[in-house]
Structure 1
Amino acid sequence: MQLSISDMIFHAGPVGQFVMLTLLVFSLVSWTIVFMKARLYKKVRLDTEDFLETFWHSANLNEAHEAAAEFEYSPSASVFTSGFAELQKINKMRSRNEEGKVVETLDTHLATMDNLKRAIRKAENQQINDLGSSLSFLATTGSATPFIGLFGTVWGIMVSFHDIGQRGSASLAVVAPGISEALVATAAGLAVAIPAVIFYNYFSNKLDDIESEMNTFSTDFLNLIERDLLSRV
């Protein structure tokens, strides 16, 4: 008889079919996440490259802020927007002297930098959480599906031995079909788990690169603001 995986699944018992259906759901969701993340991270890379080039060629922060709205997929642009918004809030709250001029002191500059750093760190964490969402499902798939498939195999072997007992024969012709059907579940579990593990590691490395690039920009941005504030003291 020719080996047919579909026939084995179709003739499997209710538990075996449920296991295969569960693995199918895990597989479909995992591949959906893979394609979505691949498309998203590509846009993130392109938008970030364009934003950084625009930022460093801008005449001032206001010009850079106007351009940042065009790069919606860039985490660095989002961090800059959050930092710029915090700077505007701080400028509105600065104390002024009798002539209406802003009072520039070292304490006010230190407070400004503290607030700005907190706003930027919050924006960075939000970006990483958004970009890393759903990756945990790939990790769960990679660790759980081999055991789900193994459960289906163990159950199938139990059923096969039960059938052997009822038929009173342990010949290869009696044992082989049931055992082969049971082993399909393990193969299916590995087929689902292996791509999930590979792409989880791949996207995790991509996310680390994005985070590193974002942190580098944040540091440069903070240094730029700090130098400007210190020059006013």
Structure 2
Amino acid sequence: MVATEMDYIHIIGNASLMVKFVLLLLLFFSVMSWAIIIIKIRYIRKAFKESDIFIDYFWKSRDLAGAFTKAKQLDGSPVARIFRIGYAELRKLNTGKGGDEATADERAPSLRHEFSGTDNVKRALRRAINTEMTRITQMVPFLATTGNTTPFIGLFGTVWGIMNSFHGIGQRGSASLAVVAPGISEALVATAAGLAVAIPAVIAFNHFMQKIRVIESELHSFSADFLNILDRDILR
């Protein structure tokens, strides 16, 4: 094992400048990809956990003011954030219909007031969902870029290593294994490095996109349910 590691170090240390540059570039993509993977795993895990807590509280309490207070405590939940925006828009409607502006910030909208409709709330929720989707998908496209480009970057290093091998053959006039082995080794290391960077990035990208689609569906479902509650119980 130690001998094998020393062989790899020796191969990389004696590689051409171009191959070293390729390996450094692949190292950059790898570090960035794993940083994004760790960040997104924590972010999405927190989003699911806190959204479950908020949705459970929302349906059990049916108290918009209490749900708003709970939503402010669950800043990692996309569902809670869109509810806060929708509730804030609802308070604006209530205040505009003659509610007490000094005390409207923390109380539920009055059931006595009649409102013209839910168009403003719908638009606010739609904007909030778009904002949340932008937030959730941030940095994820970099994983797709990594998965698509790093194999070709590694392939470039492979081609360069093979070119060096043929150049060595031409200079020495010999095609012995001792002449071609260093260049071929560089080529194989570059190819392996490109695949090693690309495979985790592709797996993580597909995993995150599946989770993001679930969150998006959950946001749209909650938005529709919230609007139904407003139409049925509050704004009619």
TM score, norm. by length of structure 2: 0.88
Inter-partner Cα distance in structure 1 for 2:122 and 2:12: 57
Inter-partner Cα distance in structure 1 for 2:137 and 2:81: 16
1:93 is displaced (CA, Å) by 2.0
1:103 is displaced (CA, Å) by 7.0
Mapping 1:145-224, distance limit 5 Å: 145-224=150-229
1:109 is displaced (CA, Å) by 2.4
Inter-partner Cα distance in structure 2 for 1:170 and 1:55: 75
1:63 aligns with 2:70: no
2:138 counterpart (133, 136, 149) = 133
- Asked if the contact 2:94/2:113 (under 8 Å) is kept, the reply is no
Partner of 1:14: 17
Letter in 2 for 1:30: S
Partner of 2:127: 122
Q: Name structure 2 gaps, 5 residues minimum.
A: 100-111
- Asked if the contact 2:154/2:192 (under 8 Å) is kept, the reply is yes
Inter-partner Cα distance in structure 2 for 1:50 and 1:139: 31
Partner of 2:39: 36
Partner of 1:27: 30
Inter-partner Cα distance in structure 2 for 1:59 and 1:219: 15
TM score, norm. by length of structure 1: 0.90
Letter in 2 for 1:192: V
1:109 counterpart (116, 122, 128) = 116
What are the Cα deviations for residues 70-102 of structure 1, in whole angstroms up to 9, with x where unaligned? Answer: 111111100100000111112222379xxxxx8
Letter in 2 for 1:214: L
What are the Cα deviations for residues 119-161 of structure 1, in whole angstroms up to 9, with x where unaligned? Answer: 0010011111111100000000000000000011111111111
Inter-partner Cα distance in structure 2 for 1:74 and 1:109: 30
Answer with 219-228 or 167-176: which moved more: 167-176
Runs of 4+ in 1 over 4 A off after TM superposition: none
Inter-partner Cα distance in structure 1 for 2:63 and 2:17: 67
* 3-state secondary structure, aligned to 2:155: helix
What are the Cα deviations for residues 15-60 of structure 1, in whole angstroms up to 9, with x where unaligned? Answer: 0000000000100110111111111111111101110111112252
Inter-partner Cα distance in structure 1 for 2:9 and 2:183: 14
Inter-partner Cα distance in structure 1 for 2:185 and 2:71: 58
Inter-partner Cα distance in structure 2 for 1:10 and 1:197: 29
What is the number of equivalent residue pairs in this alignment? 220
Inter-partner Cα distance in structure 2 for 1:23 and 1:115: 48
Partner of 1:49: 52
- Asked if the contact 1:109/1:229 (under 8 Å) is kept, the reply is no
Inter-partner Cα distance in structure 2 for 1:10 and 1:217: 57
Partner of 1:142: 147
1:214 is displaced (CA, Å) by 1.4
Mapping 1:53-92, distance limit 5 Å: 53-92=56-95
1:177 is displaced (CA, Å) by 2.2
1:63 is displaced (CA, Å) by 1.3
- Asked if the contact 1:157/1:179 (under 8 Å) is kept, the reply is yes
Partner of 2:104: none
Inter-partner Cα distance in structure 2 for 1:31 and 1:17: 21
Aligned alpha-carbon RMSD (Å): 1.7
Partner of 2:108: none
1:193 is displaced (CA, Å) by 0.2
What are the Cα deviations for residues 162-197 of structure 1, in whole angstroms up to 9, with x where unaligned? Answer: 111111111122112211222210110011000100
Letter in 2 for 1:158: M
